């Protein structure tokens, strides 16, 4: 007997161990977002109220201050709890966004986890849509992706396309293009992500790698209402290198391909010089050919050494097994009761 769509969705939710009683932890990494944080919190609070009233879903907000240099931490401490719990996790210094996301994941106390940026460009109102795909349709990972990059330069679009082409080259589990960190993980997907032991983390890749049923939701990011983005070209390049070397062996394959192309080119050029010497009795200019050859070989060798160095650095980091982050302060403000408890540095 065929099952209805509702029965199939219920079966998927049961298999995934998903349900409203598990609740939802909304993790918000922060870095110098003091000016816009109160407005963002108000929008998140409205969404949390609607989820509680419409679905009976318990919600908590987990703010992770990644070593901000402005008043972000003080503003976060003063945020009202309302009918839901509010955690404020302050890192001992700026460890980077990936570390802040991990800290939020580690401190999330409810079943499902949703990550959203603290700059307001991710629309909190879209959270209800993501929750709907989780609860109503049984998806384990509901991720968002930019609908268009028309407002970006042609060079940026080309660079992004090249990044995804390279990181997905030969990968069994491909990362969806233009996907962001704004995503929801079901309880079992969040548990799977916590089990991954590596310290050099690339959440976009790891959230895809764990598998389960995944669904893409396209959206248009809003302009920043306050301040300027801390991301610069160098930051984006660094993140790209981090993602490639932490999640893919494509750069090593590219280095091998370059080596093969160089060797093949040298073989063809050597054969042509031999033909010129034997058949046409034509001498090949020595100095320019030698210099160009040496520079080409030297450049490719340095590139390969640099790529290998990135991977060796990752291996060294994993072997040292240093903590990904340190907590300077952790504040928990209880909803309904309005009582706050604070733990010292962990």
pLDDT in tens, 181-204: 889 999 988 988 888 877 777 777
Cα–Cα distance measured from residue 220 to residue 128, given in angstroms and rounded to the nearest whole number: 16
Q: List beta partners, residue 28.
A: 63
Q: How much is the pLDDT for 334?
A: 82
Q: Lowest-confidence range among 32-41, 211-220, 269-278?
A: 269-278
User: pLDDT at position 7, please?
Assistant: 45
pLDDT at residue 283 greater than cutoff 60: no
Instruction: Pick the range with the lowest mean pLDDT from 248-252, 302-306, 318-322.
Output: 248-252
Query: How many angstroms separate the CA atoms of 181 and 208, rounded?
Result: 11
Could you tell me the CA-to-CA distances from 133 to 14, 85, 192, 214, 302 in Å, in that order?
A: 15, 24, 19, 10, 48
Q: How confident is the model at residue 9 (pLDDT cuts 50, 70, 90)?
A: very low
Q: What is the mean pLDDT of residues 80-90?
A: 87
Backbone angles phi, psi at 294, to 5 degrees: -65, -40
Name the one residue in this structure whose structure tokens are 């879903």.
57
Res 202: pLDDT: 78
Q: Which residue has the tokens 């991954």?
A: 196
Higher-confidence position of 239 and 271: 271
Beta-strand relationship, 327-333 and 59-65: unpaired
Q: How far is CA 268 from CA 227, 262, 272, 275, 346, in A?
A: 56, 10, 6, 11, 62
Residue with tokens 């990904």: 324
Task: Give Cβ neighbours of residue 314 (< 8 Å, ≥ 6 apart).
Answer: 200, 245, 246
H/E/C letters for each residue in the chain? CCCCHHHHHHHHHHHHCCCHHHCEEEEEEECCCCCCHHHHHHHHHHHHHHHHHHHCCCEEEEEEECCCCCCHHHHHHCCCCCCCEEEEEEECCCCCHHHHHHHHHHHCCCCEEEECCCCCCCCHHHHHHHHHHHHCCCCCEEEEEECCCCCCCHHHHHHHHHHHHHHCCCCCCCCCCCEEEEEEECHHHHHHHHHCCCCCCCHHHHHHHCCCCEEEEEECCCCCCCCCCCCCHHHHHHHHHHHHHHHCCHHHHHHHHHHHHHHHHHHHHHHHHHHHHHHCCCCCCHHHHHHHHHHHHHHHHHHHHHHHHHHHHHHHHHHHCCCCCCEEEEEEECCCCCCEEEECCC
Grade residue 18 by pLDDT with cuts at 50, 70 and 90. very low
Q: Is 66 exposed, middle or buried (0-12, 13-18, 19+ CB in 10 A)?
A: buried
Please give the Cα distance from 20 to 134 (Å, whole number): 10
Query: Is residue 212 exposed (0-12), middle (13-18) or buried (19+ Cβ within 10 Å)?
Result: middle
What phi, psi does 144 have (nearest 5°)?
Answer: -105, 155
* CA separation for the pair 64, 247 (Å, rounded): 24
* Token pair 């980077």: residue: 96
pLDDT of residue 28: 92
Which of the pair, 302 or 103, is modelled with greater confidence? Answer: 103
Paired residues of 217 in beta bridges = 144
Give 50-81 pLDDT, tens digit per residue: 888 888 888 899 999 988 888 888 888 888 88
Per residue in 112-132, pLDDT (tens digit) is 999 998 887 888 888 888 988
Fold of 5-164+173-232+324-343: Spore Coat Polysaccharide Biosynthesis Protein SpsA; Chain A (3.90.550)
- pLDDT at site 184: 92
């Amino acid at each position: 007997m065929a099952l209805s769509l509702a029965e199939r969705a219920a079966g998927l939710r049961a298999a995934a161990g998903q349900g409203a009683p598990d609740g939802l932890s909304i993790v918000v990494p922060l870095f110098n977002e003091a000016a816009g944080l109160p407005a963002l919190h108000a929008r998140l609070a409205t969404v949390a109220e609607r989820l509680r009233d419409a679905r009976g879903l318990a919600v908590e907000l987990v703010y992770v201050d990644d070593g901000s240099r402005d008043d972000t931490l003080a503003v976060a401490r003063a945020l009202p709890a309302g009918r839901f719990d509010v955690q404020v996790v302050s890192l001992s210094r700026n460890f980077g966004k990936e570390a802040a996301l991990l800290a939020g994941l580690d401190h999330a106390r409810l079943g499902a986890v949703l990550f959203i940026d603290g700059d307001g460009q991710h629309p909190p109102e879209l959270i209800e849509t993501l929750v709907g795909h989780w609860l109503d349709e049984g998806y384990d990972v509901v991720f968002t992706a930019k609908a268009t990059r028309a407002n970006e330069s042609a060079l940026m679009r080309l660079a992004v396309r090249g990044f995804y082409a390279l990181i997905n080259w030969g990968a069994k589990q491909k990362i969806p293009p233009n996907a962001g960190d704004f995503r929801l993980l079901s309880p079992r997907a969040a548990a799977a992500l916590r089990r991954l032991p590596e310290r050099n983390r690339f959440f976009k890749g790891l959230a895809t790698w764990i598998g389960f049923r995944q669904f893409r939701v396209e959206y248009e990011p809003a302009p920043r209402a306050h301040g300027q983005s801390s991301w610069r070209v160098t930051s984006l390049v660094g993140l790209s290198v981090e993602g490639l070397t932490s999640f893919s062996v494509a750069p090593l394959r590219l280095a091998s391909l370059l080596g093969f192309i160089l060797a093949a080119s040298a073989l063809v050029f050597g054969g042509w010089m031999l033909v010129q010497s034997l058949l046409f009795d034509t001498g090949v200019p020595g100095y320019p050919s030698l210099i160009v050859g040496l520079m080409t070989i030297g450049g490719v060798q340095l590139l390969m050494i640099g790529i290998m160095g990135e991977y060796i650095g990752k291996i060294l980091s994993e072997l040292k097994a240093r903590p990904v982050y340190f907590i300077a302060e952790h504040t928990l403000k209880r909803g309904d009761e309005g009582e706050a408890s604070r733990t010292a540095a962990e």
